[in-house]
């Protein structure tokens, strides 16, 4: 006689019921973590964009600017060399200045503020990797829970998450 192996219908239904109960308990907790996860991810993305701007400035041996738009939660990294009829070093993309990176923050990582020396919402890096005009400042991100992350830029161009 051959031995039958497998699951009965009752064992299968019991297993599915246990998984459903565990999922019902775990999923609301996981959804509560999402805003903080997105905030951390957004801060890492912003730090990456600032570091990319600094490294690109050194590589291109030209000013590279980062402009922040708090209203639309967007940022723009571009070479500020005046190419194509623009004005070099004005921290405004004009002419055909090359865009290195642009991005929009995730819904739970809004740009709350971007404040640099002189009350500016932008920063640029020189060909030596220093901030132009030795500016210092921070970019603050917040989420729907009111939690914040701050990315600081010092005058030597070092960027870090506080």
Q: Is residue 4 part of a domain?
A: no
- What is the per-residue pLDDT across 127-137, written as a single tens digit (0 to 9) for each? 999 999 889 99
- What is the per-residue pLDDT across 91-106, written as a single tens digit (0 to 9) for each? 888 888 899 999 999 8
pTM: 0.80
Query: How far is it, in rounded angstroms, from Cα 20 to Cα 26?
Result: 10
CATH of the domain at 37: 3.55.40.10
Query: How far is it, in rounded angstroms, from Cα 38 to Cα 26?
Result: 19
**Count of domains observed in the chain:** 1
Domain of residue 136 covers 10-161
Are 92 and 120 a contacting pair, CB within 8 Å? no
Q: Is residue 129 part of a domain?
A: yes
């Amino acid at each position: 006689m051959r031995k039958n192996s497998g699951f009965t219908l009752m064992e299968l239904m019991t297993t599915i019921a246990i998984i459903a109960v565990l999922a019902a308990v775990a999923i609301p907790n996981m959804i509560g973590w999402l805003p903080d996860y997105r905030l951390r991810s957004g801060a890492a993305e912003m730090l990456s964009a600032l570091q990319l701007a600094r490294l690109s400035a050194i590589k291109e041996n030209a000013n590279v600017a980062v402009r922040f738009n708090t209203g639309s939660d967007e940022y723009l990294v571009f070479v500020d060399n005046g190419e194509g009829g623009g004005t070099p070093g004005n921290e405004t993309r004009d002419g055909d200045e090359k865009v290195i990176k642009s991005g929009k923050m995730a819904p739970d990582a809004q740009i709350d503020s971007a404040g640099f020396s002189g009350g500016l919402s932008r920063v640029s890096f020189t060909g030596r990797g220093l901030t132009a005009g030795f500016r210092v400042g921070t970019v603050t991100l917040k989420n729907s829970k009111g939690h914040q992350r701050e990315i600081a830029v010092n005058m030597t161009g070092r960027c870090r998450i506080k």
